[in-house]
Amino acid sequence: MAKHMNAQKTVIVPEDKLNIGTIVNQALIDILIAKQIISEEELLNSIGMISSQEVSLVKGES
């Protein structure tokens, strides 16, 4: 005989999803730096390049 489980659905609001994503991303960055896979300088340079590309895309769409 099959058992029926009473599964409850948990609703996560978008703001919480964003916060969880931010925490996970920060943890991954911390691990990469701690294991010396990427340096803080390389990370900052990459972030700067991504920011510049985003600005270029926004200006191109206008």
Q: What pLDDT, on a 0 to 100 scale, did the predictor assign at position 17?
A: 87
Q: Helix 40-61 vs helix 14-34: angle between axes, to the nearest 10 degrees? A: 140
Dig out the tokens for 49 from the structure: 């390049």
Q: Is the pLDDT reported for residue 1 higher than 80?
A: no
Question: pTM of the predicted model, to two decimals?
Answer: 0.61
The dihedrals phi and psi of 38, each to the nearest 5 degrees, come to: -140, 145
Output the average pLDDT for the chain. Answer: 87
